[in-house]
Structure 1
Amino acid sequence: MLTLITGLLIAGALAAAFWPRPVMVDLDAVTRGPMMVTIDEEGRTRVAEAYIVSTPVAGRLQRVEVDPGDPVIRGETVVAHMLPTNPAALDVRTREQALAAVQAAEAALRVARADLNAALANRDLAQAELERAETLADRQFTSPAALDRARQGYRVSEAQVETAEAAISMREANLANSRAQLIGFDDPGLATAIGNPRSDDIPLYAPTDGRILRIMQQSETTLPAGAPIMEIGDIEGALEVVVELISSDAVQVEVGNQVIIEDWGGPTALHGTVSRIDPLAITKFSALGVEEQRVPVTVELSGPADERKALGHGYRVVARIVVWKQEDALRVPASALFRSGGDWAVFRAQDGTARVTPVEIGRNNGVQAEVLAGLEAGDLVILYPSTAVTDGAAIARRVVN
């Protein structure tokens, strides 16, 4: 009897141990609702129209007293001061040569004016002789040849007068050129002409309204003409985002696509639209050393500036460019999809049993997929199906405490 009871207990324990149990799975429902596909990439903010303040002439830049972030007003705020350098004015030999050239030009001008006086006298004499010859010719007291010679002499004298007048104009131009060699920034007349009462100082005014973004040259130094000093821009009114997309993603983007700006530090997401897609891709290397072709895409921010008042120039943001959107789509979790014979399929939960159901998928954003055929709203599907889940296997929903 004891042996029989012991055998029955062992058989019951073995049956309980090996009795088929349902596979614990996670389930989710197929739903209808809005769905969109986005291309997510990091971007950088920048001022749409930034201005570089540079040196107008070669000279010595005084120490810049303004700081990044200071507001400026176009044409009113002085952002820097310069002291121009004129090596020719400091070179004694060059200055003496210029003075000698001025004196030579003045002498040549006096000679040209004397030549003009002589030409005028010759022309007056030739004119009087021509008048006498014409009077004698009318009375037939002189020959026609003499009259022709008088006319020729008058024309030659007129040409000499014109030549002398042209020579005076040329000498005056040479004199002005020679005097220009003596002009320096230490000339009070030149300082007054350019509207600067202090001839030793050249103020640099802000070219636009906004704030100083950065200063390239803070300390006093000597710079050539055109050297950058600082950058100025309007952060509040002209801020945009530049996103460098992989070229295969950039071909899916169009001008006017909606953009959602996230992870910028503010409480709410910002919105914008794609305003420009550059036609030229640039080569860059990823952190793993992989060569990539990146396309700069410019995003114009929309909405009031108060929403992004803490956002500045060169800040990092995450841009989600919407390339497809539908308000009423049949959606299934992407984690429920798997390949079955080259097509997409899911395990549909039906009466505690897993059933393989082929589906036709449209758009997929990595979290949800658009269902074109095979499922209906309300169907339950298995998420992350393991190898233990097979067609017809008993399943039970996992309960999370």
Structure 2
Amino acid sequence: MTPRPRTRWLILILVALIAAGAVAALLWPQSQTVDLGTVTRGPMRLAIEDDGRTRVSESYTVSTPVSGRLQRLDIHVGDPVVKGETVVARMRPALPAVLDARSRAQAEAALAEAQAALSAAQGDYRAAVAMREQADADLSRAQRLALSGTISQSALDRDQINADYAAAQEAAAKAAIAMREAAVASAQSVLQNDAAVANSAGAETIPLYAPATGTVLQILQENETVLSAGSPIMEIGNISDGLEVVADLLSRDAVRVRVGDPVEITDWGGPDVLNGKVLRVDPAGTTKVSALGVEEQRVGVVIGFTGDPAKRAGLGHGFQVTVQIVVWQAEDALRVPSSALFRRGTGWAAFKVEDGRAHEVSVEIGTDNGTVAEVTSGLSEGDQVVLYPVEGLEDGSPVAPRSGG
């Protein structure tokens, strides 16, 4: 009879232990399933992306030199033209080309003014050539000094920008000569028919020659019609050499862009990513209304192509593209996924995973491009961090990686 009470006690103790184990299992903290990321080292960059459109940097508008009847054009959009050789249009003055003394004096004065402007433009071009040659010489000298470590990289970059700017100034001066030559030709055409043909049956047909070598970009008047002097007929430009991209950036993005910043041009229809660089940032913004009806301050940024022109074959005037302007980049940055960071007071923090537990650490970051952030302190290469930390996750909480994450 003695073993029965003892057996009952053993059974009660066993039941109590089982109950205590069940309660402990229920109260024991469960590991939260989380996504993990790794702190790595590698290249990193920050780019501003926006839509852009191509345009010919130096376009020429062919206009009527006098009032008269424009004959139907035999040229079409896309046709190549040669400066001074290709006849792009013909027109017949509305009145016989007989000039009275006053009109002839005005025409001769206009011709003299155009010739003087041409001489001035030629002088500006010679000055621009000299500046470009000096800038190229300075750049060559800077490149040699940079190889030996005598000057800094920033000094070399400034000489590179000066050389690019001088080359652009030379191109602009050359274009100004072409414009002045066209003005001289326009003024000369007024004097082509004078009183010597006063007895002729009608005015002599005036051929209009291409003011520049390139391609017909747009025809504004194709059919035969009567036009007043100065009416535009067509637009001509050189697509192969004079193509550039214009992007209207938000003003808060444009302040980070500098002349010379590298640019990648995508979504233009071809298989290759085209390279370019920033040539100019407009000093003033304009107010534009977005598709959502919101007023925005936009700033124009001009981008020039730097790669092989053959890679952008088929890209023409007025085409839409996407530009990515690289405003910051580093070859060996300590990177953490941006989704691992969260605000803690005025700073940043992340959960670093060690021995199956999440430990909150303060993190100082530099540049954040939205995908990864540059770590300046708080984390080391190879550290595992929790991505998209949930609100209930606390310092020291047990965690387990999500299956397949």
Task: Report the TM-score, using the length of structure 1 for normalisation.
Answer: 0.68
Counterpart in the other structure of 1:50: 59
Deviations 1:287-331 (A, max 9, x none): 222222211111111011001012111111111111111111111
Pick the aligned partner of 1:330 from 323, 334, 338.
Answer: 334
Contact 2:280 2:301 in 1 (8 A): yes
Identity of aligned residues (%): 54
In 2: Cα distance, 1:191 partner to 1:338 partner: 90
Pick the aligned partner of 1:390 from 380, 383, 394.
Answer: 394
**1:64 is aligned with what amino acid?**
L
Q: Secondary structure at the match of 1:359?
A: strand
**1:86 is aligned with what amino acid?**
L
**2:315 is aligned with what amino acid?**
L
Counterpart in the other structure of 1:40: 49
Displacement of 1:34 in angstroms is 1.1
Deviations 1:128-163 (A, max 9, x none): xxxxxxxxxxxxxxxxxxxxxxxxxxxxxxxxxxxx
Any unmatched runs of 5+ in structure 2?
1-11, 101-190
Pick the aligned partner of 2:238 from 226, 234, 246.
Answer: 234
Q: Secondary structure at the match of 2:55?
A: strand
Pick the aligned partner of 2:268 from 264, 270, 282.
Answer: 264
**2:265 is aligned with what amino acid?**
I
**2:80 is aligned with what amino acid?**
P
Displacement of 1:56 in angstroms is 0.9
In 2: Cα distance, 1:302 partner to 1:283 partner: 30
> 2:348 aligned with 1:309, yes or no?
no
In 1: Cα distance, 2:394 partner to 2:266 partner: 41
Pick the aligned partner of 1:225 from 229, 233, 238.
Answer: 229
Listed as ranges, the matches of 1:165-314 within 5 Å are 189=197, 199-314=203-318
**1:292 is aligned with what amino acid?**
E
Contact 2:96 2:203 in 1 (8 A): no
Contact 2:254 2:299 in 1 (8 A): yes
Displacement of 1:400 in angstroms is 3.1
In 2: Cα distance, 1:339 partner to 1:191 partner: 90
Displacement of 1:334 in angstroms is 0.9
Q: Secondary structure at the match of 1:236?
A: helix
Contact 1:78 1:205 in 2 (8 A): yes
Counterpart in the other structure of 2:106: none
Contact 1:186 1:200 in 2 (8 A): no
In 1: Cα distance, 2:331 partner to 2:314 partner: 33
In 1: Cα distance, 2:21 partner to 2:226 partner: 98
Listed as ranges, the matches of 1:140-179 within 5 Å are none
**1:316 is aligned with what amino acid?**
Q
Task: Report the TM-score, using the length of structure 2 for normalisation.
Answer: 0.68
In 2: Cα distance, 1:259 partner to 1:376 partner: 31
Q: Secondary structure at the match of 1:335?
A: helix
Contact 1:187 1:199 in 2 (8 A): no
Cα distance, 1:88–1:271 mapped onto 2, change above 3 Å = closer
Displacement of 1:388 in angstroms is 3.6
In 1: Cα distance, 2:370 partner to 2:198 partner: 70
Count of residues in Structure 1 that have an aligned counterpart in Structure 2: 303
Counterpart in the other structure of 1:30: 39
Deviations 1:73-123 (A, max 9, x none): 11111111112101898xxxxx9xx9xxxxxxxxxxxxxxxxxxxxxxxxx
In 2: Cα distance, 1:232 partner to 1:303 partner: 24
**2:359 is aligned with what amino acid?**
R
> 2:403 aligned with 1:399, yes or no?
yes
Pick the aligned partner of 1:61 from 65, 70, 78.
Answer: 70
Displacement of 1:21 in angstroms is 3.2
Any unmatched runs of 5+ in structure 1?
90-94, 99-182, 193-197
**1:201 is aligned with what amino acid?**
T
Listed as ranges, the matches of 1:124-135 within 5 Å are none
> 2:376 aligned with 1:367, yes or no?
no
Displacement of 1:13 in angstroms is 9.0
> 2:76 aligned with 1:72, yes or no?
no
